[in-house]
Amino acid sequence: MSRWIIPFLVSLTLFLVIESYAFQVIKTLTKNRWLRGLWLLPSLLAYLNFYWVLFTYDRSDGQTKQFQWAVGFLLVVLLPKILLVLVLLGEDIVRWVRKGISAVASSPTRELGGRRKIISQLALGIAAIPLASILYGIFKGKYNFKVLTYQLSFPDLPEAFDGMTITQITDIHSGSFDNKEKIEYAVDLINEQASDMILFTGDIVNNFAREMDPWIDSFKRLNAPMGKYSILGNHDYGDYADWESKEAKKANFQAVKDVHPKIGFELLCNEHRFIEKDGQRLALVGVENWGKGFNQAGDLEKATVGVDREDFKILMSHDPSHWEYKVKKNDFNYQLTLSGHTHGLQFGIEIPGLIRWSPSQYVYKQWAGLYEEYGRYINVNRGFGYHAFPGRVGIWPEITVITLKKA
């Protein structure tokens, strides 16, 4: 409990500053006490609910749906008011600049004047955009599955694999799901791509193997004639929950690994498989999680014992920071890497040809989509499921289909 005291005081202070500043909007627009009270009520309920869940939930339960919805409710009331504050702050800066100019010019009119009603109305209109977006993201966006297709050409791709198709999914986070029909739809959508191979790049659960139990029958329906392969992600190790013993954590980790064959996936833990066709081969390499600054169980050398440098290689590595720091310049030449992990932070704006932004880009250099450096590619899938925030805003759940071509 004591570890939450300082974060609680800091966040409470921040919330109070935002609320007091944003309150100026409704204060400018109406003198009705009931309307002003209704303005404050949702925020009060959101803060009380968030802190109640934060201080009472048992970390041995991992990240519960109750916690996710508390975060969602908090963002619904908080993000629009942050925009309100930015608009009002802009007006105040203009007012203070005018006052400074008047003071320098020795003008008799140095008063700041009251807040203008038109600015408050404009602020409300702007704040309505993120409010509507977040509500859509919670109730619809988290299951707004998109199929993204890429064609990649390589001069060293064996001719037998010219035209081979791969469907990549990642970050299932089954403990967050709450709609059986939508998951069944997504599984059907994956099968409709009729790819030669399906590759899953980690985070099948939030913390516990049991989270996958209700969804095994759904995911084992996935079909691919050349096989289904998978790796582990950072959440699969159970590092984000409190355990009664090391043995319990270890048993859960084994149970998580045992889930993969139950849905027909072959789990690769620092190992590889040769995919053969017409007397030619490519190497599918799967490593455990490797993240900058935390769990670095991934071992490229161990995973490629018996693989030649000249072999065409597809590397599955959950965290794209692995590619940035260990893979893209590696002399062993990993032609194609498939990752996930970032979710694009489940929040951003992507308008092809115009804008592509997410807070995730300030943490990860490769945060969503396809990247190429040194003639090597990485695809960072935006994720199948969701985590922490129970929705997606502008960064939709993704099914990637990649076609390999001989250059």
In this predicted model, what pLDDT tens digit does every residue of 265-274 receive, in sequence order?
A: 999 999 999 9
Instruction: Give the chain's mean pLDDT.
Output: 92
Q: Closest Cα to residue 383, out of 207, 141, 72?
A: 141
Cβ atoms < 10 Å from Cβ of 178: 12
Domains of the chain, earliest start first: 2-139 (no CATH), 142-406 (3.60.21.10)
Rounded Cα distance, 201 and 235, in Å: 12
Region 225-244: what's the mean pLDDT?
Answer: 95
- pLDDT tens digit sequence for 152-185: 999 999 999 999 999 999 999 999 999 999 999 9
Region 205-213: what's the mean pLDDT?
Answer: 97
253: confidence class by pLDDT, cuts 50, 70, 90:
very high
> Residue 63: what pLDDT?
78
Lowest mean pLDDT among 45-49, 193-197, 275-279: 45-49
- Chain-centroid distance of CA 72 in Å reads 14
Which stretches within 304-403 are classed as H helix?
320-322
C-alpha dihedral sign at 177, 188, 282, 309: negative
Rounded Cα distance, 15 and 85, in Å: 12
Q: Which residues contact 301 (CB under 8 A, 6 or more apart)?
A: none
Rounded Cα distance, 80 and 123, in Å: 9
**Is residue 110 over pLDDT 60?**
no
